[in-house]
Amino acid sequence: MPSVGDLFIDTRGGDRTMRVSYHGDRGTVVVSLWIGTVCRGSFRMATDDVSRLIGTLNEISLSAAPTVPIVTASPGSPPDATGTATAGPATSATAGAANPPVDQTGDISDLARIVAAPTLRVA
């Protein structure tokens, strides 16, 4: 196993994992999908493409982050019973980031047919 990498657990459970490893001697990052101890598939990515993948994952992370309302006191707001100024209208900290534009990169509707696993038969 390479010294740089990580292991991720699938949200569906069932002993599914994804491994990401860096292979400097080949200039690649390998993403592999595992069920238990069996590798079910792998993808070799040139290290030149890693920054683009990171950018995509960052966009996903930002769009998936919950918006946190920011409550600010309006100037001249009357104090409440504790002597503190009452809050003004709430605003969203990530307004506009919650629904970023989606770039369509191509039609992938036929991929399910192309990459579907063959039916296994036991004799």
pLDDT tens profile 16-38: 999 999 999 999 999 999 999 99
34 inside domain? yes
pTM greater than the 0.85 cutoff: no
99 inside domain? no
Rounded Cα gap, residues 17 and 36, in angstroms: 8
Question: Contact, 64 vs 94, CB < 8 A?
Answer: no
118 inside domain? no
What pLDDT sits at residue 39?
A: 95
108 inside domain? no
Split into its structural domains, the chain has a count of 1
112 three-state secondary structure: helix
Domain that holds residue 47: 5-90
101 inside domain? no
97 inside domain? no
116 inside domain? no
16 inside domain? yes
* Of 9 and 94, more confident: 9
